[in-house]
Amino acid sequence: MNETVDQLLAGPPLGASEKELVDWISRLEEVKCAAEAVQAEAAVRLDEAVRVRQAEAGIPARKLGEGVASQVALARRVSPAKGAKLLGLAKILLAEMPHTFALMKAGLFSQWQATILARETACLSLEDRRVIDYQLCAPGPDGEPPAVVAMGLRQFENAAKKLAITLDQESVVARAANAEKDRRVSVRPAPDTMTWLGALLPVKDGVAVYAALDQAAMAARAAGDERTRGQVMADTLVDRITGRSTTGAKPRVEVKVVMTAEAMAADSDQPAMVEGYGPVPAAWAREALADAEVFMRRLFTDPAGQLVAMESRSRTAPEGLAEFITTRDGGICRTNGCDAPIRNVDHAQRHTDGGTTSAANLQGLCERCNQAKEALGWQARPGPDGSIITITPTGHTYVSPPPDTWTPDPPPLSLAEFVLRDLLLDHDLAA
């Protein structure tokens, strides 16, 4: 496709094929990303021009730039607060994150993705921020786009968090301690006389609450409850907090922390992973593990490691292998751009098409993606580097990059050096 922006905006021609229609959608997405980059550039130049004019008019230095954010907000039809954030991001992009900005200009990165990276690097020095900008967003040796382009937002956020922790664990820990002070509960209206109840919590508590609700849902469904998973979780939340029903038993909540053996030793900078959340500093993990009743097991080392290397003859992944895949994929659906939690571990290449029940050919998918993949004309297969290649009915190919727990060689497909700790927290949710 070589259409100009004007041609793209005029819309696809009558009788366009399915492939052309998908191309049109994808090209317009690139135009939107590039437009956001140019908006950022214009905002920075506006800020510079206004400052020069104000200085010439004798306005004191501390007041220079006043009113620019509001002008940006009006022009972009957002609130003044949002305008200030957009102007702030624009300055960071142009001055401190050149590779991120270049990806946006090339149409491969959205303003929202850039916002996540700016946020995750906010506590770092300028030097460290530049390192992360380069490591995540610079093109490959042959000019190919970096892997972050295909990542889902959660996966991308995790990659940025991990790098930040690796570069400057101290700053990340200090910022986390400070953030805990902001814990709170909020409620806001939702359509159809519903409400959103939200809670900003330290990761250990938030993940534990969610895991407790998830476990209640699984138990209910196993007992034949016909409510959906979401319905049971919502009902259980209300029941336990309001004391509407008290089961008496304290729920035993399991939070999975995956870390390398090295990270368990003191003074390591390697991040740990909390399943359902993402990377945390090893120092934080060590402290949390010291706090709670901890059940530790080695994951997928001998003899269980053989299970991972071993192909299963059965059509469905055995439990240990399914858990391995979920941990390997970080608990997040492998579809590009999807951030939903994994609900199914299934074959990339179908069993009936000769796909094996092995770690290489299995992927963790959310319910929706697992269904989409079963639709007519969809295909998938594993790539040699641990990626999953999905081919849609129009022949478009999407590559899901390998998770960074992937260790290609040797041992293949093994998390042998990883240690999984289950954090068992006694959370009494009945207030």
3-state secondary structure 276-324: CCEEECHHHHHHHHHHCEEEEEECCCCCHHHHHHCCECCCCCCHHHHHH
Instruction: Report residue 224 as tokens.
Output: 């034949």
* Complex with Zn ion: residue 298 or 343, whichever CB lies closer: 343
Closer Cβ to Zn ion, 273 or 333, answer by number = 333
Rounded to a whole number of angstroms, the minimum distance from the CB of residue 145 to Zn ion is: 22
Q: Which phi-psi region, left, alpha or beta, contains residue 193 (left: φ > 0; alpha: ψ -120 to 50)? A: left
Least CB distance from residue 64 to Zn ion, whole Å? Answer: 47
CB of 346 to Zn ion, least distance (A): 12
Residue 346 and residue 253: Cα distance in Å, rounded? 26
In whole angstroms, how close is the CB of 342 to Zn ion at the nearest point?
Answer: 8
Q: Are 268 and 261 in contact (CB under 8 A)?
A: no
- Cβ 375 to Zn ion shortest distance, Å: 14
In whole angstroms, how close is the CB of 58 to Zn ion at the nearest point?
Answer: 58
3-class DSSP string for 227-243: CCHHHHHHHHHHHHHHC
Q: Least distance in Å: CB of 153 to Zn ion?
A: 12
Which lies closer to Zn ion via its Cβ, residue 123 or residue 388?
388
Place of tokens 């135009």: 31
Task: Judge whether 430 and 270 are in contact, CB under 8 Å.
Answer: no
Q: Which is nearer to Zn ion, 103 or 342 (CB)?
A: 342
Rg, the chain, Cα only: 24
Return d(Cα 154, Cα 326) in angstroms, integer.
15
Binding site for Zn ion (CB under 5 A): 333, 335, 338, 340, 366, 369
Residue number, 335 or 358, with CB nearest to Zn ion: 335
Nearer to Zn ion, 163 or 366 (CB): 366
Total residues found in the chain within this entry:
431
Amino acid at 78: V
Looking at the Cβ atoms of 169 and 390, the one nearer to Zn ion is 390
